[in-house]
Amino acid sequence: MDLLNTLVDKGLRRELPTRDEALAVLATSDDDLLDVVAAAGKVRRHWFGRRVKLNYLVNLKSGLCPEDCSYCSQRLGSEAGILKYTWLKPDEASKAAAAGLAGGAKRVCLVASGRGPTDRDVDRVAGTIKAIKDQNENVEVCACLGLLSDGQAERLREAGADAYNHNLNTSEATYGDITTTHTYADRVDTVQKAHAAGLSACSGLIAGMGESDEDLVDVVFSLRELDPDSVPVNFLIPFEGTPLAKEWNLTPQRCLRILAMVRFVCPDAEVRIAGGREVHLRTMQPLALNIANSIFLGDYLTSEGQAGRADLEMIADAGFEVEGAGEVTLPQHRADVAAAAAGGCGSHAEAGCGSHAEAGCGTGCGSVCGSHEPAAVPEANEPRTDLVAVRRRGAGTDLAPNA
């Protein structure tokens, strides 16, 4: 297919595709899907080899958010039965992070619900970063705390943060349809603040909220312009008790096309499969590793993910390898730029977090876990509510995390 040959050539040269080319990827047929994955895989392997970076989320503060983001189980007015707790103490957060690091993660993403941190909150997170780094010398830490005020990104960097995550989520044209308590411009401003402070910028999107192909291309092109080191791709989990609970718009095939489009537009950035991979990619997750070079290990913020052991087995069975702590994630040209921006201090050459707080079944076997009854085979495109499970373990609980 001429389109795919063109996109591979452009990806190897870091050349931006045209909008029409990006839209054409999303419009490809199921008959051409494996060709699309193979083409995106050539670009992925050129820049990242067969390495898969593992990231681990720690939810520092769950629920209680004053923002009205329609996709989020922690939003103002959410009726989702999620865990709700205020700030974890530094030793509690460090203990939670240790589980993910023991499971193979090289980056810990510290996330807190809310509009944005107060200066006191930044001090709290600084203490948590220190506690984690004191226990784990080579760990990378990303903060994800909402909208940043002037000077806060610099303070986080001084505290030892390597990266900051703040997603654009959807196109500027449709942003007001999912959130009214802040603007798209607010989000862009925070990503720019992080970048300017020498933090590795991480920003991505959420697919499956009823957006058009044009909206998806718009947000990914906007991300390319912002030039984050990492682009997390979330797939909406329609959590009961949120306004988007009935939005089941994704199939595994569409998810793969979206990932491929992101890879072609952002060829040398870390593309991370974030929240929702278990729910929407399901058994096609290993195929997605040919496109993306990064995933989250285990559970997410408010929902359960695939068991950590299953993640590691999936990576090995698909012929990939877990990226080691001593390996640099980004291609050299991008790592050099990041290091220069950070003044040569620390490891600011990597990526951030970027889950929208959702995910799927933590056991990998749907709602029939523990049962000897055969599972019913779901119809194609049927909503898989059986794969949505609220997190009841790990941070904020007395139960061991899933890592």
What is the tens place of the pLDDT at every residue in 100-143?
A: 999 999 999 999 988 999 999 999 999 999 999 999 888 999 99
Residue with the two structure tokens 């004191």: 134
Which of 44, 75, 109, 224 is labelled catalytic?
Answer: 109
- Annotation says 392 is catalytic: no
Which of 69, 144, 255, 361 is labelled catalytic?
Answer: 69
Structure tokens at 260: 């491929």
CA-based radius of gyration for the chain: 19
Convert 354-388 to b/e letters by CB count within 10 Å (16 or more is b): bbbbbbbbbbbebbeeeeeeeeeeeeeeebbebbb
Q: Which helix (H) or strand (E) holds 96?
A: helix 90-102
Could you tell me the pLDDT band of residue 349, with boundaries at 50, 70 and 90?
very low
Q: Is 42 left (phi over 0), alpha (psi -120 to 50) or beta?
A: alpha
Which of 254, 272, 277, 282 is labelled catalytic?
Answer: 272
Supply the DSSP symbol for 113.
Answer: -
Q: pLDDT tens digits for 63-87?
A: 788 888 888 877 777 777 777 888 9
If we measure between CA atoms, which residue out of 194, 174, 165, 219 comes closest to residue 355? Answer: 165
Residue 249 has pLDDT above 90, yes or no: yes
- Annotation says 361 is catalytic: no
Q: 172 phi and psi, to 5 degrees? A: -60, -35
- Annotation says 369 is catalytic: no
DSSP, collapsed to helix, strand or coil, labels residue 63 as coil
- Annotation says 345 is catalytic: no
CB 194 within 8 Å of CB 117: no
Amino acid at position 106, single letter: K
110: β partners? 58, 143
Which of 44, 65, 107, 361 is labelled catalytic?
Answer: 65
Q: pLDDT tens digits for 289-311?
A: 999 999 999 887 777 788 999 99
Tally Cβ neighbours within 10 Å of residue 87.
16
In the chain, domain spans? 40-341
CB 301 within 8 Å of CB 61: no
Mean predicted confidence (pLDDT) in 2-29: 98
Which of 144, 202, 266, 361 is labelled catalytic?
Answer: 202
CB 130 within 8 Å of CB 161: no
Q: pLDDT tens digits for 192-222?
A: 999 999 999 999 999 999 999 999 999 999 9
Q: pLDDT tens digits for 139-172?
A: 999 999 999 999 999 999 999 999 999 999 999 9
- Annotation says 144 is catalytic: no
CB 178 within 8 Å of CB 209: yes
Identify the sign of the CA torsion 389, 395, 398, 402.
Answer: positive
Tally Cβ neighbours within 10 Å of residue 327.
12
Could you tell me the pLDDT band of residue 377, with boundaries at 50, 70 and 90?
low
Supply the DSSP symbol for 25.
Answer: H
Tell me, which fold does domain 40-341 have in CATH?
TIM Barrel (3.20.20)
